[in-house]
Structure 1
Amino acid sequence: MAGRIPQDFIDDLVARADIVEVIGSRTRLKKAGREYKACCPFHGEKTPSFTVSPEKGFYHCFGCGAHGTALGFLMEFDRLEFVEAVEELAQMLGVDVPREQDRSTPRTPVSPLYEQLAQAASLYQQCLRETDAAVDYLRERGLDGQTARRFGIGYAPPGWDFLLRRLGANSGDQQQLLSAGLIAARDSGGYYDRFRDRIMFPIRDSRGRIVAFGGRVLGDGEPKYLNSPETAVFHKGRELYGLYEARRAERKLDRIVVVEGYMDVTSLACHGVHNAVATLGTATTAEHLRRLFRATREVVFCFDGDRAGREAAWRALQNCLPEMRDGRQVRFSFLPDGEDPDSLVRAEGAEGFNERLKSALPLSDYLLRELKSQADTTSMDGRARLAELARPLLQLLPDGVYRELLTDRLAEEVQLGADRLQRLLGPAPRPTRSRPANRPATGRPSLVRRAIQLLLNYPALGATPVPAGLSRVEQKGIAVLTELLDITAKNPHLNSAALVERFRQRPECRHLEALLAEDPLVGEEAAGKELADCLTRLTELGQERRLAELVAKAA
């Protein structure tokens, strides 16, 4: 794994980024005074309510409430993870992303690996064009040239040194090929090509870079499918074949279909179904699901109806449960015996295949169907067994409406009151959350909240003298306020966006973003005086409270 990205680099990147340019490259902006406006790219609207502030480096939609920094926009609009968004923004600014070196583990430079993988893909594609047997095989499977080009499909010829002879001229190149998973080491010394006589499917990351390959044997050899090993740029529990291509084909993915193999994905795309992806020879992981749900709200798993398909579906269901937050949908479609998505779409076309997906089982129906097959619900003992079988599964669900509804459904099946069943099942796992710095219980405007808001809007105010004793004040949000004061005092170059980004991985981030989205109603000079007053008053209140406590104890 690559090392951490240094915090000072992220600070500088966000400060240097022109948020108008970043967002303007993806949606049309119109200048409106000191800010820019647009119709929100995150929800349908006819009247622009989406504003971008170059001064803050921040965007906010008054219609749907979406807001964030340039990095946050890339994460939401391009469906990127945080590190990927940093890399994308760095590429837009023409800078390389540094990594902190873990001294205990030698780090493999990744740029040469991407280059080697891209060169290998180009060679494989050239080989495909020159190999009639490989072209004929793809035609027999119903793939046309346009689909092959779109997915970058190629062919690795027979022989042990095709890539070695072309890309492994010296020991350094050979080491890079090995690190990229393109060659393997012989026990007796030397290397050989990992992929031979195989149709080659490039696996891309969310930015479209080739990170690995999947190879399908052309003849009857074994193994039928062969994937790249895990490398510094490829982790099979994270990547999904076809997700990059699906997102390029359809800007908004209402649904993503998860199938079993590369040929299923490419065959479906060839016939007009562009929203299919495949895992890479592994069960669907939590990381896969997080990536899927960043791109869509509905995931349909498409499995063979045989025993292996049912077992794979059940594993997928168990991994889905912790990710079933409100608004997300998961369904399961089981294909007729002897059929797979490739054969079905060729026989029925895209319309027929999509009709099958409409009748896919919701996760709740599939879960209860499988559990009821293991218990006789006509008897009291059988209903008790059903509840016991469901207990560990429902406990995986996060708290929310979905968990409540599924518990109600189970209560009907076991003929028990929902509240009583809920007590028997136990509470849902709750994430640990820091309490937000908002208004105190009294309902009066919070001095802490106002101080944080002023500091977020005008980070240069971090130079304001901090009264002694502020950190000892016992009030909600005081720890966040003192941390912000410390950060801005030590980093006077930070702008509002970079300051918020310091909290990206923390639960306080969404509250800070919401405060920054509000109008502070004062300019910087007035804000400086108000902030100083807030800090002084907070310190005085803290002293008064401690004095009152001492008096109470003495009495």
Structure 2
Amino acid sequence: MHIFIKKKYINEILEKTDILEVIQSKIEIKKTGKNYSAVCPFHQESKPSFTVYHHKQYFYCFGCKIHGNVIDFLMQYEKISFVESIQTLAKITGIKITQYKKKTTNQKEYINQINQYHVLKKISYIYHKNIQFNHSYLAKIYLKKRNINSKMINEFQIGYCHHKFCILNNILSNKKKYIPILEKEGLLKIKNNIPYDTLQYRIIFPIKNQFGKVIGFGGRSIYQYEPKYINSPTTTIFNKSHNVYGIDKIDKIKKPPYILIVEGYFDVISLTQYKIYNVVALLGTIITKYQISMLFKFTDQLIYCYDGDKAGKIAIWKTFKNILPYVNHQKSVKFIFLSPGEDPDSTIHSKGKNYFLKKIQYAKNILDCFIKIIFKKMHLYSISDKAKILHITIPLINKINDPYIKISLKQKLGNIIGITDEIRLNQIFYTKKKKNYTHNYKLNNIRILMSLIIQYPVLHLCIPYHMNELKKINIKGIKFFIEIFNICKKYNCNHTGQIIEIYRKKKNINIIKQLSCLKNMINKKNIKITFIQIIKKIYHTTLIKKYNKLIIKDRLKKINKTEKNILWLINKTIAKNK
């Protein structure tokens, strides 16, 4: 079931929370003029593009475009839900909140709203318990062959799914009720109206998030069934490109010197068994930007250890393409190369901990590997190969954000292929940057009004006598401006973060967020005067248009008594405003 928190609690939390204090507790931030800036925690960059507008209680990154209020920041930074973010802020502010669970009579909707974490935790427990029974002796034999001891089986809650063992018969009392959710989680299928476990005859690895909650499962066949490994499908809480196996074991208190990235479940478990910690496994062959960003929050150094087979070498090259934009003077990436036929699991068992620690110690920097791999299979005396090298390397090097690393790689590449002239090198590497039209808005009066009321909600206290008349004006955007104005008045808003929260689930939220950081070039001292003047100007311009229409109609002798009175009143108002 969904958990709901009343708006009054959210508004109270936002009033008592200082976004600057929350962000300062997570990242290093410096004052720049009237605002605050930092290196963005959501993407890798060399120059700060992350800005905190203190008076607005709002943040915006001009690099990756992530923006929002303090709730959005916590959700993005901690990778937590909206409710968890509110709960965290409630603890900080000392506000006691009441949560409500919304019930529904619709059975299908009810099933879809079941707490997935709770269900998966129960299933994980049953899989793990099942491996202790006699009918799971084949799984025990397999794990013994892989040199996995009982301590690790319990540590990682490794389980087994036997053909006689069915989730429905062990965990759930009402079978039909839970079939849809278990199908969605990929844990069972139905054949000839008979449900069966999709992970039959497989060693089970519970996949957890960074908070230790089970979000999915991996299964390894102990027979010759294909595929050898399968993972849970994408669900509302699990996406294999966003998560890594073993993230729950990372030291969250003390920042680890590195995180070791391997390919498989057994690699993580075996290395941990030999007391090599802070190891994670990708749930696919290639690391994604989501995984990179997540791992760099815990450490400044990632070390890849791929299998020494052909697939491992292909994966290394593809990794270069994804990881290079994140490399800078603070964040580094290294590689460990194993011999053909080896993987971390077999290496640690055959050659021991000390051998593997030396491998980690002498891991090679990604930039050195990059150059070495590119030139390994190409002949520098061949003009076509030189052209091919430039064609491959230029797009990759241009992805690097750190200017010093980029310059060094350019020079190194130039020396190797025989282009030492700096001007020629710059011409070769020059790429025309795309213009960013994100904030290229036409600054008309309505847009300025909306940006002002969003950025300075206290303007709702300045109510010109024309405000009610604005409702009658047929100008694009005026109704939305009045709506924002009335919301600020209703909820007594005093900063931008509150407005963003009110519009969070409304269709106009993107417009609100874009206008919240629009530069309207108005001096802060003149905000109130400008706001009132624009409203008066819009009203006055509309009156003149209406006046001119009635004058033309009067000349054609088609005006009635009511219109004559309106013309007289408009003329009087225009004269008064002058």
Q: Same fold (TM over 0.5)?
A: yes
Are 1:71 and 2:71 an aligned pair? Answer: yes
The answer (yes or no) to whether the contact 2:5–2:98 under 8 Å persists in 1 is no
State TM-score, norm by structure 1.
Answer: 0.67
TM-score (norm 2): 0.65
1:256-405 mapped onto 2 (5 Å cutoff) = 256-324=259-327, 327-347=330-350, 350=353, 352-398=355-401, 400-405=403-408
1:461 correspondence with 2:459? yes
Cα 1:406/1:57, change in 2 over 3 Å: same
* C-alpha displacement of 1:289: 2.5
What is the CA distance between 1:172 and its match in structure 2? 1.9
Does residue 72 of structure 2 align to residue 86 of structure 1? no
| Counterpart residue number, 1:223 | 227
Q: Which amino acid counterpart does residue 236 of structure 1 have in structure 2?
A: K
8 Å CA contact retained: 1:71, 1:85: no
Q: Distance in 1 between matches of 2:417 and 2:511?
A: 38
Select the residue among 487, 492, 499 that pairs with 1:490. Answer: 487
Alpha-carbon spacing, 1:72–1:127, altered in 2? closer, same or farther (3 Å): same
Structure 1 pair 180–331 and aligned structure 2 pair: CA distance change class (3 A): same
Aligned to 1:184: 189
Query: Which residue is 2:529 aligned to?
Result: 533
Equivalent residue number for residue 213 of structure 2: 209
Counterpart for residue 28 of structure 1: none
Residues 17 and 273 of structure 1: CA distance in aligned 2, closer, same or farther (over 3 Å): farther
Which residue is equivalent to 1:47?
Answer: none
Identify the residue that residue 62 of structure 2 maps to in structure 1: none
**Over residues 23-64 of structure 1, what are the superposed CA-to-partner deviations in whole Å (9 max), with x where a residue is unaligned?**
9xxxxxxxxxxx9899955469xxxxxxxxxx989699xxxx
Counterparts of 2:460 and 2:362, CA distance in 1: 58
* Alignment-derived partner of residue 164 in structure 1: 168
Verify the 8 A CA contact 2:18 2:57 in the aligned structure 1. no
Deviation track 1:377-402 (CA, whole Å, cap 9, x = no partner) reads 24555433321232343344457444
State the Cα deviation string for residues 434-460 of structure 1 (Å, max 9, x = none): 5699xxxxxxxxxx99x989975x743
Distance 1:193 1:121 in 2: 13
Alignment match, 1:48 = none
| TM-aligned CA distance change 1:402 to 1:466, over 3 Å | farther
Is the Cα contact below 8 Å between 2:121 and 2:214 reproduced in 1?
yes
Higher alpha-carbon Rg: 2
Q: After the TM superposition, which of the residue ranges 276-285 and 145-154 deviates more from structure 2?
A: 145-154
Query: d(CA) in 1 for partners of 2:115 and 2:270?
Result: 32
Amino acid at match of 2:194: G
The SS at the match of 2:241 is: coil
Q: Secondary structure of the residue that 2:409 maps to in structure 1? A: helix
Deviation at 1:327, TM superposition (A): 3.7
Following TM superposition, by how much is the alpha carbon of 1:262 offset from its aligned partner in structure 2, in angstroms? 0.6
Q: CA deviation at 1:181?
A: 0.9
The aligned counterpart of 1:152 is 157
Q: Which residue of 2 aligns with 1:246?
A: 250
**Alpha-carbon separation, structure 2, partners of 1:124 and 1:377:** 57
CA separation of 1:212 and 1:364: change in aligned 2, threshold 3 A: same
Unaligned stretches of 5+ residues in structure 1: 24-34, 45-54, 61-66, 99-105, 438-447, 470-481, 516-526, 543-555
Inter-partner Cα distance in structure 2 for 1:346 and 1:318: 32
Report the counterpart of residue 475 of structure 1 in structure 2: none
Equivalent in the alignment of 2:50: none
* Alignment partners' CA distance in 1, 2:251 and 2:209: 12
- Using a 3 Å threshold, how does the CA distance of structure 1 residues 163 and 107 change in structure 2: closer, same or farther? closer
Q: Distance in 1 between matches of 2:465 and 2:362?
A: 65
- In structure 2, what residue type is equivalent to 1:235? N
Checking the alignment, whether the CA contact within 8 Å between 1:255 and 1:300 is kept in structure 2 is yes
Is 1:406 aligned to 2:404, yes or no? no
> What letter corresponds to residue 248 of structure 2 in structure 1?
Y
**In structure 2, C-alpha distance between the alignment counterparts of 1:239 and 1:269, rounded to whole Å:** 19
- Equivalent pairs, count: 470
Do the aligned partners of 2:156 and 2:205 also contact (CA within 8 Å) in 1? yes
Give SS of 1:203's match: strand
Q: Does 1:17 align with 2:21?
A: no
How far did 1:348 drift?
5.3
**1:444 aligned partner:** none
For residues 178-226 of structure 1, the C-alpha deviation after alignment (integer angstroms, 9 at most, x for no partner) is 111111222x332211112322111123443322111123455543322
- Given residue 294 of structure 2, which amino acid in structure 1 is its aligned partner? R
Q: Which residue of 2 aligns with 1:442?
A: none
Amino acid aligned to 1:313: I
- Using the alignment, how far apart are the partners of 2:354 and 2:494 within structure 1? 51
Q: Which residue of the partner structure matches residue 51 of structure 1? A: none
Distance 1:355 1:468, change over 3 A: farther
Distance change (3 Å), C-alpha of 1:154 and 1:234: same
SS in 1 for 2:206: strand
Contact kept, 8 Å, 2:453 with 2:484, in 1: the verdict is: no
> Which of 103, 113, 117 matches 1:114?
117
